[in-house]
Amino acid sequence: MIRTATPDDVPVIHEMVRELAQYEKALHEANATEGQLREALFGERPAAFAHIAQTDAGEVAGFALWFLNFSTWRGVHGIYLEDLYVRPQLRGGGHGKALLTELARICVARGYERLEWSVLNWNEPSIRFYESLGAKPQDEWTVYRLTDGALATLGS
């Protein structure tokens, strides 16, 4: 079952964000607090959205956290999937596919023309999973990021 996240889900979303960061070998970079997630998802002006995957018994299996992007070439919004995570012991049960299916359904219903995300180059199980759904890698693009000191220097 896939459902829209509620404020009561913030602690488990935070927990899974940290689990994902550990899996991606970057737990030291996962500094977001529950308060920050609550504000981003449920504050006065939400900047992100989340869906929860549950087992038939009601156990939280995973989540998808996403936000809107915009294509100047297509002239419409799309969804950028920031995090897709299914707990290891519950993988293979269709939860990841169900979360992506829900996001694709939202895109179609709202007229969004893209559903995009990034995956680490070494994460072969995820790459195989995404490609099995028809997703195509965007090999011609390289992601750039400014953070910490470089961002502060440029921004001042």
The radius of gyration of the chain from alpha carbons, rounded to an integer in Å, stands at 16
**Residue 80: active-site member:** no
80, 112, 130, 144: the catalytic one is 130
Q: Which helix (H) or strand (E) holds 72?
A: none
Spell out the residues 6+ positions from residue 112 whose beta carbon is closer than 8 angstroms to its own.
68, 76, 77, 78, 79, 106
As annotated, the active-site residues are: 130
